[in-house]
Amino acid sequence: MKICKHVPHQFEWKVLDPEELVTVKQKKKSITQRAGDLELSKPPILLRDGDHIGVLVDGSASDDLQTEADRDAAEVFRVQKEQQQKEKAEAQKTKNQYANDNIGVHIRWEEDEEERAL
């Protein structure tokens, strides 16, 4: 039997396997422990009130607990993120282009010989 925690900002379910070895930082050193021996309300598991959890009775099942809505939302999020990255890359490209153009106003002051004589 396995417990899964829904991670909404990643649109996926994280499997919390009690036999998995996890590294926990305590004060100035890291300790490796079984996930089954950790307190669920502290990192790295960090279960809070209102979190959605799922239970896989058959741990060998290939079910990832994702719904169609999760898959659709993940796809929309991925497309939006790619679009933002493209826009950021284009903005950086145009910024670099203008930085190399030496754009500005250059005034060259030349006096006539008559004005110099005065």
Range of the domain at 52: 2-66
Tokens read off for 18: 């009690």
Residue 115 lies in a domain: no
Residue 39 lies in a domain: yes
Count: domains in the chain = 1
Q: What is the mean pLDDT of the chain?
A: 79
Residue 21 lies in a domain: yes
- The pLDDT score that the predictor gives to residue 113 is 62
113/27: higher pLDDT: 27
Residue 58 lies in a domain: yes
Residue 76 lies in a domain: no
pLDDT digits (tens, 9 = 90+) for 37-74: 878 787 777 888 888 888 877 756 666 778 888 889 88
Q: How confident is the model at residue 75 (pLDDT cuts 50, 70, 90)?
A: very high
Question: If you average pLDDT over residues 5-32, what whole number do you get?
Answer: 83
pLDDT digits (tens, 9 = 90+) for 32-45: 888 878 787 877 77
Residue 94 lies in a domain: no
Tracing tokens 């417990």 back to the chain, one arrives at 3
Categorise residue 19: left if φ over 0, alpha if ψ from -120 to 50, beta otherwise. Answer: alpha
pLDDT at residue 116 above 60? no
Whole-model pTM: value is 0.53
Residue 34 lies in a domain: yes
Distance CA 27, CA 82 (A): 39
Residue 99 lies in a domain: no
Judged on CB neighbours under 10 Å (0-12, 13-18, 19+), 57 is exposed
